[in-house]
Chains A and B, each alone.
Chain A
């Protein structure tokens, strides 16, 4: 049976690990990404996502040296994203050992790039990041820094026709707030797309994760703040998810007391 995945998401600003709240620009400095990778590898996490969140804004590429040092520590699948613009960019990242790449800015205007990339690399390596923001009118829009007003559902229906492996869905409103996931958003998206979805944004304690897996049919969740700033580890979240009857992968060797 396919296991539900709990995936730490590392966000990078070009030289250090940071954490945003509601995608605001003044991200909180967290520290060194290599040690985060080592910790997560020691924890046998299901996967790792590593994103250079200001790459596109600053017109640059992911620092390959840094990416290489992170992948070196990981014996689980790693997805890299940030500033990917061309087939060569994807090739460079896969060549240093990434398993998947995450596209975002490029596909807003050029969704056909997805087919181009999938043809060369296979759609399994191509993930797309969809950041959704709920505006005052109660509707969801695709968050972007190009000042474009794009209704989320419209975008999803459009993108559905192209070839890619997975969606990383993040709620901008709940990002970094640790007050629960945007269940309404998840339900909208999971009813439209047929590829696997990783839901992210708002996970602050185990009960949020229970709620997510109970009220939706999601099979994967991403989290960051909870691991940086609280007592909870991915294992705690998996135990919580298991408690409500969903299958997770637990690599248990020794007894560990309740957290």
Chain B
């Protein structure tokens, strides 16, 4: 099976929304070049402050002048730090907690309030959410599905209810991970953006009504606020990454000085880094599902970012991908067994149903071939 890879980084053509130019360079790399050369960051910074100054509270006022969705992860921690300590705003942070929070994730979440910021921690209906986690896993091969919705709808719902129109998001994933070029220009996170790029995999919240008896009422926080409410509040969602050069590693160093912890005992499952996706026990499963569907995992994502930021060569990246991409996520699967009540056989069967039979080797009996470590065998060459 011949798969085309980007000439610069290691993204394969199987990645949703990715495309290549005539020179074999992928849209993520093109966006990165624009970051380096094509963008007037001084102007963007000016634009940013011009916008937020319209919302900034005066010294003799109380209230919140911006809202930041946080997860306890490094990006949102940086956003919170930046808005409070650099821009001098008075943010309200809203956390839609992850599915199964890790200890370090919880500490990092607590740390945000220790940075001197109010945080609303939304403790969701455990049963409704769990039903959606299971259904998301079975129906679209993503146990994090309800999380993709919740992290968007809940902060916006709070923004509407608390009347805080300015919402600050982090990087534009389409910019960092390579979406259609038109989407990279989108500086605003709107409902349309969520539906197109939010990772919903074709499923919508309406489709969850009736699952394990769920009613629309049970799913209240997951329905996007109405267009009317958004307009009335004047919701303005900005991607910080559109206005400032996004450098995750640099930002990490800054927040480490403000209490952010990284994983000291080894990389996060599915990749080689120890500072990304720290907060979710199940992230390895989500990433593995991505791998079986498209042939690349989280390690590839991180390698590509490091290649674009000139911290790795393509060859060095290749080695890391070979070592870390696509390894069966034992830790996450065990956590998922505990959380969902499903058996390992059931879980593996579902994973198999999403494994692309064109990308991976099959045995004669139609089952997927595995190596001595129990991992799938690619029938394409990484890197092309």
Contacts and interface: CB of A to CB of B under 8 A. Distances in A.
A and B touch in the complex (CB under 8 A): yes
Interface of A: 14-16, 26, 28-32, 34-36, 38-39, 42-43, 63, 65-66, 69, 227-231, 233, 235, 253-257, 259
A183 to B, nearest CB: 25
B191 A231 contact: yes
A136 B140 CA distance: 43
Tell me the dominant secondary structure on chain B's binding face.
loop
A28 B197 CA distance: 13
29 contacts: A14-B358, A15-B1, A15-B356, A29-B19, A31-B293, A32-B141, A34-B353, A34-B354, A35-B139, A35-B140, A35-B141, A38-B139, A38-B140, A39-B207, A65-B357, A65-B362, A66-B357, A228-B202, A229-B196, A230-B195, A230-B196, A231-B224, A233-B204, A235-B206, A254-B215, A255-B209, A256-B209, A256-B216, A257-B223
B377 interface: no
B13 interface: yes
B210 A227 contact: no
Given A255-B216, A257-B223, A30 B16 contact: yes
Contacts of B196: 228-230
Given A29-B14, A34-B354, 5 more contacts: A30-B16, A35-B141, A42-B139, A231-B224, A259-B206
Nearest to B220: A257
Interface string B205-228: 011011000011000000110000
A15 B14 contact: yes
Contacts of B141: 32, 34-35
B140 A256 contact: no
A255 B209 CA distance: 8
A69 B353 contact: yes
Nearest to B14: A16
A29 B16 contact: yes
A29 B203 CA distance: 17
Contacts of A28: 17, 19, 180
Contacts of A14: 358
Interface in B1-47: 1, 13-19
A141 to B, nearest CB: 28
Nearest to A231: B195
A233 B207 contact: yes
A237 B16 CA distance: 25
A26 B181 CA distance: 14
Nearest to B21: A26
Contacts of B140: 35, 38-39
A65 B294 CA distance: 17
B163 to A, nearest CB: 22
Nearest to A69: B353
B192 interface: yes
B286 to A, nearest CB: 14
B359 interface: yes
A233 B206 contact: yes
B202 A35 contact: yes
A66 B207 contact: no
Contacts of B337: none
A255 B206 CA distance: 10
B19 A26 contact: yes
Q: Report, nearest first, the 5 A-B pairs whose CB atoms are least far apart.
A: A15-B358, A35-B140, A229-B196, A231-B195, A32-B293
B353 A29 contact: no
B201 interface: yes
Contacts of B15: 29
Interface string B112-126: 000000000000000
Interface in B202-261: 202-204, 206-207, 209-210, 215-216, 223-224
Contacts of A30: 16
B204 A36 contact: no
A113 B203 CA distance: 39
A6 to B, nearest CB: 15
A143 B176 CA distance: 37
B216 to A, nearest CB: 5
Contact of A230 (B16, B192, B201, B293): B192
Nearest to B197: A229
A228 B13 CA distance: 18
Contacts of B223: 257
Contacts of A69: 353, 357
Nearest to A26: B19
Contacts of B202: 31, 35-36, 39, 227-228
A254 B139 contact: no
A115 to B, nearest CB: 34
A16 B139 contact: no
Contacts of B293: 31-32, 35
A36 B200 CA distance: 11
A14 B362 CA distance: 17
B201 A35 contact: yes
A253 B294 CA distance: 35
Contact of A39 (B191, B201, B354): B201
A32 B199 CA distance: 12
A53 B18 CA distance: 19
Given A35-B354, A42-B139, A230-B192, A15 B206 contact: no
B277 to A, nearest CB: 21
